[in-house]
Amino acid sequence: MAGKFELYEDRAGQFRFRLKAENGEIILASEGYVKRTSAENGIASVKVNAPNDDRYERKKTRSGGHMFNLKASNGQVIGTSESYSNTSGRDNGIEAAKNNAPDAQVEDLVIESAKEDELRELGIDRLRVAWALNEAAEDSYAFLASAENCLKNILSATKRQIPNDPQRRQAWEDEIAFLRKAQDHIEKLKGLVPKEENSDEDTRTKVDETRDALREYLDHFKSWPKEHVKEVTDSVWRAGLIGIFTGVGLIFGIPGIGATIGTAMFGGEKISKAVNTLIKGGEP
């Protein structure tokens, strides 16, 4: 049977686990542990002891219900069931523990929770991403396709400018590597967005995958070759790149992405000066 353990952190900051059957029903749950490793050891102990009928303590609750404890060889309780209305339900629960625990996989909800917090701090909201993948899918796809094409043109133009001077050549190679990787990120995001509006459940399952791709996309800007920025891409190209990358942020509702990217590519106070010059029609 395909049961699973869920390892999670409760509101008090303690680590717990629960064994679930294939239908999602909780078979047993642990106490709270101060250390994560203790909870992991508890899971291992449940796997070993669950098949042994002698390890089950069958009890009555104060309200007249029926429940069980699973104990380790030293007598310590390592898992407790819910309350059942009759002994038949309790015994079925014990059989479920015996059948599910030994081969159950562990789903680490502690990591998932931490990832969710990180994404939330970046402003990558689940509902906004779902909206971009569904209601606004056609526009999202069209923009990403356009952004991908613009990046190809910028990359092509940059590759034509590679100098022979070894010292300067490294600067161009660094930027080309950055642009190629950015192109990969755009292509990955485009592959996750349907070409037209689609509210199918299958599309909604892509929300988490898209949020992970957006996190990688944002992390990529940390690799912008700042030390070469003056001698490689001119301000016009950089302004175009900021437009492309910021547009992706706007589609998926990521706040403040323009300032973040602009700072990385222009360098702090140079952002407003360069953009104002471009608006006035002069050379940056």
Q: Where are the domains of the chain?
A: 4-113, 123-280
Q: What is the pLDDT of residue 284?
A: 43
Q: Which residues pair with 18 in a beta bridge?
A: 6, 29
22, 123, 124, 125 from 115: Cα distances, Å: 25, 12, 11, 12
Q: What is the pLDDT of residue 18?
A: 96
> Max alpha carbon distance in the chain (Å)?
86
Spell out the residues 6+ positions from residue 83 whose beta carbon is closer than 8 angstroms to its own: 61, 63, 65, 66, 67
Residue that the structure tokens 């006035």 belong to: 280
| Nearest by Cα to 33 from 98, 79, 99, 66 | 79
What are 179's two structure tokens?
């642009």
**pTM for the complete prediction?**
0.54
What are 274's two structure tokens?
């360069």
CATH topology of domain 4-113: PH-domain like (2.30.29)
Describe the chain by its helix, strand, coil percentages, rounded to 5: 60, 15, 30
Q: What is the pLDDT of residue 168?
A: 73
Q: Which residues pair with 7 in a beta bridge?
A: 17, 108
- Mean pLDDT, the chain cut into blocks of 10 residues (284 residues total): 85 90 94 93 96 96 94 96 95 96 90 71 78 86 90 83 75 83 91 73 69 85 64 64 80 72 59 53 50
Q: What is the pLDDT of residue 263?
A: 63
Q: What is the pLDDT of residue 39?
A: 94
Q: Is residue 15 within 8 Å of 115, Cβ to Cβ?
A: no
